[in-house]
Amino acid sequence: MKLIADSGSTKTNWCLLNPGQELKSITTIGISPFFLSSDKIENELTHTLVPKVENSVEEIYFYGTGIINNEKKEVIAKALRNLFPDAQLEIYSDLLGAARALLGTTPGIASIIGTGSNSCFYDGNEIKIHVPPLGFILGDEGSGAVLGKKLLADYLKGLMPAGLALKFKKQFPADYGELMNGVYRRERPNWFLAKMVPFLKENINNDYCRLLVENSFDEFITRNLLQYNGFNKYPVCFAGSVAFYFSNQLRSALAKRGLTAKKIVKDPMPGLINFHQQKKEK
């Protein structure tokens, strides 16, 4: 029995593959080694994952955010080894997961645009070139956190159109101090900022909202995709909720650079399931 995990900043999607049986999906909190210790991960999954899976898990494929080196990988590995001591364990970055889900064994450029953003050139087997995302303070262009940051900054500086600002205040009635606390004192400010993205979606026909999103996507393209040699010769694919829900704006930004998106998916899990099923057949 295989257990596949795709973990982002907000949630982790798990899928239990049992030959001859229906797939079983489970959702838990996002698991990032930057924010959670091995003990906290183990404690969380003891209550939210383990009771829902059978003891006969033989293989675990974990794709997660924040897995940038062996130290971060070990944070995840320690927790999973304690929970599933007999399982074969493989841990990879969420970016490799997106590449496998989107491209399979085909070379191309894979991107994630969700709460954060990331990209790579994938040779059909592994990530060969990677422009670092840098997080929402220095990078993460186009992401939910950055869109929320731009939106909130314009609101607080009085740069948002008056009518839209009234709607924003009604939806987010917190005062200046509370909003600043959310950004600078919360444990996960990227989550706080990304929660403002639905406001953009609801008002995307407003030119201000549309341009804010398109301009941020253009920054993502300029500062990430255009850094890959031959970027216009390979398929360009995207995963993530922001890419999916703002696909029209993303395609518009790409078109201005002479690019098209071969695939835009909200959830990479179906692609990962297909990848690992085909891998077994081979």
Is 233 a domain residue? no
Per DSSP, 272 falls in state H
Q: Which of 136, 8, 15, 130 is nearest to 66 (CA)?
A: 8
Is 237 a domain residue? no
Is 123 a domain residue? no
Q: By the 8 A CB rule, do 145 and 240 touch? A: no
Percent of the chain surpassing pLDDT 70: 97
Domain of residue 34, CATH code: 3.30.420.40
The single-letter code of the amino acid at 131 is V
With 90 as the cut, is the pLDDT of residue 1 above it? no
Report pLDDT for 55: 66
Top-ranked range on mean pLDDT: pick from 40-44, 81-85, 244-248, 275-279:
244-248
pLDDT tens digits, residue range 130-154? Answer: 999 988 889 999 999 999 999 999 9
Q: Helix 144-156 and helix 176-184: axis angle, to 10°?
A: 150
Strand ranges of the sheet holding 59-64, from the earlier edge strand across to the other edge: 24-29, 11-17, 2-7, 59-64, 88-93
Read off φ and ψ for residue 142, nearest 5 degrees.
80, -10
Cα separation of 165 and 278, whole Å?
Answer: 50
pTM of the complete model beyond 0.85 = yes
Is 131 a domain residue? no
Least confident piece of the model among 99-113, 121-135, 180-194: 180-194
Report pLDDT for 35: 81
Is 200 a domain residue? no
Is 7 a domain residue? yes
Is 18 a domain residue? yes
Least confident piece of the model among 17-21, 41-45, 139-143, 223-227: 17-21
- Residue with the bigger pLDDT between 271 and 11: it is 271
Cα separation of 205 and 227, whole Å?
Answer: 31
Q: Where are the beta strands (DSSP E) in the chain?
A: 2-7, 11-17, 24-29, 59-64, 88-93, 108-113, 117-122, 127-129, 236-239, 263-265
Whole-angstrom CA distances from 248 to 19, 165, 201, 259 are 38, 24, 11, 13
Q: What is the mean pLDDT of the chain?
A: 91
Label residue 240 by pLDDT band (50, 70, 90).
Answer: very high
Q: How many domains does the chain have?
A: 1
CA atoms within 13 A on the CB side of 13: 15
Is 65 a domain residue? yes
pLDDT tens digits, residue range 187-228? Answer: 778 888 999 999 999 999 999 999 999 999 999 999 999 999
* Domain of 15, in residue numbers: 2-99+269-281
